[in-house]
Every structure is written in structure tokens, then in C-alpha cells.
Chain A
């Protein structure tokens, strides 16, 4: 599978790539072009980048071209819907693998073109070692060591930045006092089956199980927007989940806490000796702070909430000196 990053906010360009978005040969992630620096500074050689330059003014376009042609970590193509580049041929001398001008943007791009662009240059893969891991201070108190958007480059025993997603069924502590162990185990089976369905498409892994839930790790590639959306869906769809994932004819809700943090990655079951402030924090945050049926996130996650959804989260009381936001809840009858 070919990993593509597409930087564009033009619906025409997104439509142009719709065949690629549906294709099983490509994994495509779409980003806002304005954020290209933040995303690209840690992008590796397994990713091919297309960037639509139409949303930049002359000055910023030059900066972008300068930036992207100087880096050697990944191959890239330029999308120029307004034919604003005078000499596209020059781009190829500077390392560009594809140029899609105005006249080429009709209908849908053919997968063969993208494959040709990806194979245009060949970058000798380097064996990554400890020193190659890019450590850039992106947050106030942690260094980001991007783990990518899947598990391909994550090695056991090394430290990475992950989206840490804590989730628990609310009602179980109460049920545990009233019903037998077998019943609780049955509920947890339903829970893990449901959780698996939710996290698998986002490359999440249930890492540490707790009595009534668990901690999920999502690889972090600079954004946890998809995880935020999925968390919101879990809260919004509680009636649907209670009806279809469980068999108890009652509303079951989850408490969810989300943060970004660093931890050494060890396989599940071997996590007992992990020393990580981030892991400690997410457990405290989820167990001690998060209230029933709600979704909480830290300030460093808050920046990834899509603009249209920021008003769905309200500032909440600080916890362990960190700013916290909670989701507004859909009303139930």
C-alpha cells in the first residue's frame, strides 16, 4: 500500500483524488495546506506528498516550494490548479516527482499516474537508529517522537509519542457489587468486541486492560483529529451502542479521557514495568477525573479538534496542572 499525504482544501482537488481515496492500493490522509510545516517536518520516506499550492499567496508559495524542494526525506508532487508556476520543468530539476497543472485536473486522477510519480525517484532506505528519531519540542512539556499513522515503524522497546485513549464502562463498578463475576466477564466481552470495532480502523491497539475498560494506543502522526471524532461518536451513539452491542435493554455509557504522551512501547502483557509520566497521567485522568458518560481531553489534544466542533468542548477544571476540556453531551430523554 502506498501512503499519500494530500495537502488541499479545494473540493475540486479532493474530487480529483476520489478514486485514489477509494482505492485499496493507497492510504491517503488529507491535511490543511496551512499546516504543511507541522506535518511535514516529521514525515518519512515511506510517504508521498501532494501539495496544492492554490491557497498560498505568491510569497508563501515561494516559501513552500523552497521548503519542500530542500528536504530529502520524502518524494512529492505539486498541484497547481491556477497554473501559477511559470516554469514547472524547473520543479523536476529540484526533485519534484509530479506536477499537476490546471489542464490535467479534470475528472479523477488515474492510480497509474500516482504510482508512476511515486516511483519517479528512488530514495535509498536508511536503517533507522536511535539518533535518527526526530525529536522536536512541539508541546510545552513533552518532546514529540512521531510514531507514524500505523504500526509499521514502531519498534518494541523504543519510546514514541502516542494518542492515549482511556475508556471505561461507567455502570460496571455498580453492577460488580450486585452481580456475579461471570456476568461482568460477559459485559466486558461485549465491551472489548465493540472497542475492537471502533479502534481497528484507526490503527488503535488495546494496550492495557483495566477492570472495566482499558488504555488504547493510537500511533501519532502529528494529529489526533480522527480519534477525537471517534470519541465524540462513542458519546453521541450511546443509544445505538447500548441497543446493538449489548443485550441489557438499558443505556450503557463510557467515560473517556484523551491525551497525547510519550511512552516506551512494549507488547501487551509486558507493560508492568513501564515508567512513563504520560501513562501515569492518563490513568489518573481517566480514573480520577473523567466523569460518567463524558469525554475529556487535554489542551494539547484540543488543538486538533476540527474548527467546526470546537464549540462542542468546554473548558473544565484543571487537573494535575493541565488544562482540560469536556464534551457537551447530547441530551437524552
Chain B
């Protein structure tokens, strides 16, 4: 994000009007653990650094370290929870948040981080997740059944059109729930959900995909048979990485793979216990346990019709 001079000055003024230099130093150390204000500013250690110089130096250094969002997140936390046993009212905090919002970022109060506004831009990490950091996330995996046979049986253009239309159905379901494609390899992929009711978002996306795919198969699908998919949903702690080759080796991916292979069925959704546990009762009730109720790790939903 490009920081305007006005926003930088506003942040410095927020520090000056909300805390003394001692608290500024503690705050800076919380964000940059080995931070030394005297070293950075060039003032001799015997000298009391004026508030205005300290604030400008700290804000400048934080920006240089690409830690601006963490800085504002800390200010929000200080404003809400206090800092080192003291209460703080951070001046200009609303103005700072508004300025960041106008630059395409929202504050996610649940996770206490800034994330990109999906109406402005969409990136793999929501503009928030840091490489190497671990997060609890929900994943939806979708896989076309009989991909090889389809590719052999139909012309390239029919396959391409059909898979593009499936991709459109999936996109339509996940975009409105702030999901992100982490992998899409033609015959399926993995979609990540991080914010809000992530387990519910992933599960309801899966249900919508299943329903819309049913209607697609019955109306405009060009194949002579229905396009069938396996859908599984699982959640767990996962280290964020840009590298798909590394992501594929993670535990959460192994579980998704195992669910797909051993527990999923065509035209159904399989969810894991941690996902089901987080669902509203009337949604969870639609998923029947695979195995005995007390020990089941997996649950299934199928689109079934009455008379």
C-alpha cells in the first residue's frame, strides 16, 4: 500500500498526542523487538528525545520495515485493551483507519488484522497472511470424477467449455464468501477460507456448488453424461505459503486427500469433524455421520429428492 504523507503525519501525531516517549519506545519494541530509538535517531543517550522527533523516527522506521499494518493493529489493540497496565485513547485512530480503508483495506476485528477489501482487490493471502506464519483455516477441495475419461471421450473445445463453466460455478460460490483459490489444476482445486465463519462459508459454498452443478448438468452441460465431482471440506492449522509444492505436503492437504480417496462419494460433500462442530445446528443436521455417531470423524451431505 502506498502511504500518503498525510497518513504518515497523522500516525506521528497520534503517538505524540496519545503517549509519552517511554510508551512509544515500548510500542516500537513490541513491533521490532531489537529496536533502539537512540541508535536510530542519533540522539545521545543522556538526552531526552523530544516527543515529536521520537514519533517521527518510530513511524518512519516501522514503515521502512514494512510493518505499518502491524503498527496500526497495535494502536487499535492499545485503544481497546490498554498497554502495560495503562489505558490509552489513541488520537486520530478513526481517521487513520478511514485513510487505510480508502486505500482498499479493511480491519478484520475477529482476527485483529488488516485485510484487502475484496471489492477492490483479491490476492491469495487476502493482503494479510504472512509467509511462514500459521493460521487456522478452512479448505474446500473439489475434484472432477473421471477426468481422464472425459478428456479422452470429448473434443478439446467441449472439455474446455465444460471445465470453464465448472470453474465459473465454483467462483460464483466462493467469491461472495471471500474464499481464495489456492490451487486450480483444470480438473479441480483447493479453495481457502480464513475470515468470519470460515467453516460455514466453506460448507455453504460446497452446498451451492453441488446444487448449481445439478442444474447445470440438467440444462446446459455439453457432455452426454453429468459432470460429477467430489467435494470435501476440512479445517485446521496451516502455515501460509505462496509455494503450492510446499502447501501440498502439509498435514491439512494430506487429510483432504485422504477424505477424497476414502470417504467421499460422487455428487456429495464430505466434511470433517472440526468443520461440522463449527456449523449452526440446522446446517450440521444435514450431514450424516460416516460410521458410528460417537466415533465418526467424517460426515456426508447428498442432494436427495423426495417424491
Query: Which residues of A come within 8 Å of B, CB atoms?
Result: 11-12, 14-15, 18, 229, 232-233, 236-237, 239-240, 242-244, 249-251, 306, 308-309, 312, 314, 328-333
Q: Nearest residue in A to B219 (C-beta to C-beta)?
A: A306
Counting residue pairs across A and B whose Cβ atoms lie within 8 Å, the total is: 71
Please report the total number of B residues contacting A with Cβ < 8 Å: 29
- Give min CB distance, B225 to chain A, whole Å: 12
In the bound complex, residues from chain A placing their C-beta under 8 Å from that of B215 are 229, 232-233, 236, 309
The answer to whether A251 and B305 touch across the interface, beta carbons within 8 angstroms, is no
A-contact 0/1 string along B219-234, CB 8 Å cutoff: 1001000000000000
Could you tell me the dominant secondary structure of chain A's interface residues?
helix
A328 touches B204 (CB 8 A): no
Q: Quick check: is B91 within 8 A (CB to CB) of the other chain? A: no
5 residue pairs bridging A and B, Cβ less than 8 Å apart: A239-B282, A240-B207, A240-B208, A243-B280, A243-B283
Q: Which of B280-307 contact A (CB under 8 A)?
A: 280-283, 285-288, 303-307
**B interface residues with partner A (beta carbon < 8 Å):** 157-158, 160-161, 200, 204, 207-208, 211-212, 214-215, 217-219, 222, 280-283, 285-288, 303-307
Say whether chain B's binding surface is mostly helix, strand, loop, or mixed.
helix
**A-B contacts besides A232-B215, A242-B282, A328-B305, 20 pairs, CB < 8 Å:** A11-B158, A11-B161, A12-B157, A14-B161, A15-B160, A229-B215, A233-B211, A233-B215, A236-B211, A239-B204, A239-B282, A249-B282, A308-B218, A309-B215, A309-B218, A328-B307, A329-B306, A330-B305, A331-B306, A333-B286
Complex Cα gap A239–B217 (Å): 21
Residues of B within 8 A of A11 (CB): 157-158, 161, 222
A152 to B162, CA, bound (A): 34
Partner of A330, one of B218, B287, B288, B304: B304
Q: Enumerate chain B residues within 8 angstroms of A233, measured Cβ to Cβ.
A: 211-212, 215
CB neighbours of B285 from chain A (8 A): 333
Q: Which of A14, A18, A239 counts the most B-chain CB atoms under 10 A from its CB?
A: A239
A18 to B217, CA, bound (A): 19
Tell me which residues across on chain B come within 8 A of A331, comparing CB atoms. Answer: 304-306
Which B residues lie within 8 Å of A309 (CB)? 215, 218-219
